[in-house]
Structure 1
Amino acid sequence: MTAMETLFHLLPSRVGNPLSVSGMARDLQVSPVSVKNWLDLFERFYLTFSIAPWTAKVARAIVKERKVYLFDLPRIKDNGARFENMVALELWRAVTSWNDLGWGEFGLHFIKNKEKQEVDFLLSRDHEPFLLVEAKLAEREPSAPLKKFQQALHVPALQLVEDGDSYRLLSNGDQKIMVSPAWLWLAGLP
């Protein structure tokens, strides 16, 4: 097996976490440039897609590392990572559609700071955040980082869960967080 194949086989276990190119290069005993080129190649062939961190108005934000997600969900064995990947894929598809339709310049990001507080996804339009999204298998209460970053960025927030059949609207200071079954909310995307 080549180092490039090994990298591709390691990616399912890294879904949902920022990927350190230099760390992967060390593990594979190849140059960071090779790992970056291979990751770019995987994206060009629609094996993976990646999202960059959002850093504007986020104190001590992680700046460099991207998250990598797969187009082939069954390769991901961990249920939580597979659920997050499924949500990422649906959001990526929506953002791509909105951009293709000329509705603005949309982006898909994540937020993580050096205190390891993280929100899975931030959607932006014309370089401004407009929605925070957290993907959780079963947790019905919004995560503390989701609440914190919503207050800092003053944008709507959503926590998607795997099961359930109805929306819940919860207070977060002067804002609201919606908790929704993923199947119900994602069905409304283009």
Structure 2
Amino acid sequence: MWKNGQMKARRRVYDAVVEDHPGPDPDPTLEPVGHARRAATGTVGAAGCHEQAGRSVRTGAETVRRWLEVLSGFYFGFLVRPWFRNVSRSLRKEPKWFLRDWSGVRGNGAKAETFVACHLLKAVEGWTDLGLGAFQLCYLRDKAGREVDFVVVRDGAPWFLVEVKNQETTIAPSLSYFQEQIGAPFAFQVVLEADYVEADCFARPGTPKVVPAKPFLSQLF
């Protein structure tokens, strides 16, 4: 159980860092973390979020990494790490940062990616909690700049890839490239503004397919 003093201290951290309301007697030691919160908000969905946020507030990537751990502990956001097994010349140490409240993200592309990321994270955590397996949410990127927004891993093996688009229905080349490399049975280009269709997105494994966001997300959990 939290003691009264611990609860008050935790509340002060939450107000200052997450809600950005430091109160009448702000704690100056929390000010840098508030800066990191604002900087991290501007790096949503970008690989290398530690370095980008660090440059924004003129501090080291390791310090930002610790700050983001604090923000993650308050469920302000979450990190998605690269999947590199069987990926040629893959990135290994550059996570992407996402806010749990996607509605506050600026930019249509970043907002769409965050929206889908939140749904995928909820599904991954739910499946794991139900004992259906050990699930991870990762992303794919190599040193040539090819990237797929997300890969869901089940029991240590890639299960399906997800590339998020607002309107684009032409299959992204990186989706086919990475599916062939890592051997995932499913690969989806999820289009947010596409009309709903009655279809089972997971009926047949195979090459990448374009799916509207509504049926795809509704079938996750």
Distance 1:135 1:23, change over 3 A: closer
* 1:31 match: 60
Query: Given that residues 167 and 180 in structure 1 are in contact (C-alpha distance below 8 angstroms), is that contact kept between their aligned partners in structure 2?
Result: no
Selected match of 2:187 from 157, 160, 168: 157
Q: C-alpha distance in 2, partners of 1:161/1:63?
A: 28
Cα RMSD for the two superposed structures: 2.0
Residues 1:19 and 2:48 are matched in the alignment: yes
* 2:119 match: 90
* 1:131 match: 160
**Mean CA deviation greater in 9-18 or 133-142:** 9-18
Query: Given that residues 43 and 49 in structure 2 are in contact (C-alpha distance below 8 angstroms), is that contact kept between their aligned partners in structure 1?
Result: no
Selected match of 1:111 from 125, 137, 140: 140
Instruction: Summarize deviations over 1:148-186 as a string: whole Å, max 9, x none.
Output: 111112221011001222379xxxxx9422211111210
Instruction: Summarize deviations over 1:70-118 as a string: whole Å, max 9, x none.
Output: 0112221101110100100000000000110111110000000001100
Distance 1:79 1:26, change over 3 A: closer
SS at match of 1:176: coil
Query: Given that residues 167 and 181 in structure 1 are in contact (C-alpha distance below 8 angstroms), is that contact kept between their aligned partners in structure 2?
Result: no
What amino acid is aligned across from residue 50 of structure 1 in structure 2?
Answer: L
SS at match of 2:145: coil
> Which has more radius of gyration?
2
What amino acid is aligned across from residue 145 of structure 1 in structure 2?
Answer: S
**Mean CA deviation greater in 25-34 or 45-54:** 25-34
What amino acid is aligned across from residue 60 of structure 1 in structure 2?
Answer: R
What TM-score does the superposition give when structure 2 sets the normalisation length? 0.78
Q: C-alpha distance in 1, partners of 2:174/2:45?
A: 16
What amino acid is aligned across from residue 7 of structure 1 in structure 2?
Answer: A
* 1:179 match: 210
Which stretches in structure 1 are left out of the alignment for 5+ residues? 169-173
SS at match of 2:208: strand
Instruction: Summarize deviations over 1:112-166 as a string: whole Å, max 9, x none.
Output: 0001100000011111101011111111111010011111122210110012223
Query: Given that residues 22 and 32 in structure 1 are in contact (C-alpha distance below 8 angstroms), is that contact kept between their aligned partners in structure 2?
Result: yes
Instruction: Summarize deviations over 1:21-73 as a string: whole Å, max 9, x none.
Output: 24433432333332111100011100001111000010000110101110112
**Mean CA deviation greater in 79-88 or 2-11:** 2-11
Which stretches in structure 2 are left out of the alignment for 5+ residues? 1-19, 21-30, 200-204
Equivalences, count: 186
The Cα shift of 1:19 comes to 2.6
SS at match of 1:146: helix
Distance 1:115 1:152, change over 3 A: same
Q: C-alpha distance in 1, partners of 2:212/2:180?
A: 23
* 2:3 match: none
Q: C-alpha distance in 1, partners of 2:87/2:77?
A: 27
**Which protein is richer in strand relative to its size?**
1
Q: C-alpha distance in 2, partners of 1:33/1:4?
A: 13
* 2:174 match: 145
**Mean CA deviation greater in 157-166 or 44-53:** 157-166
Residues 1:81 and 2:110 are matched in the alignment: yes
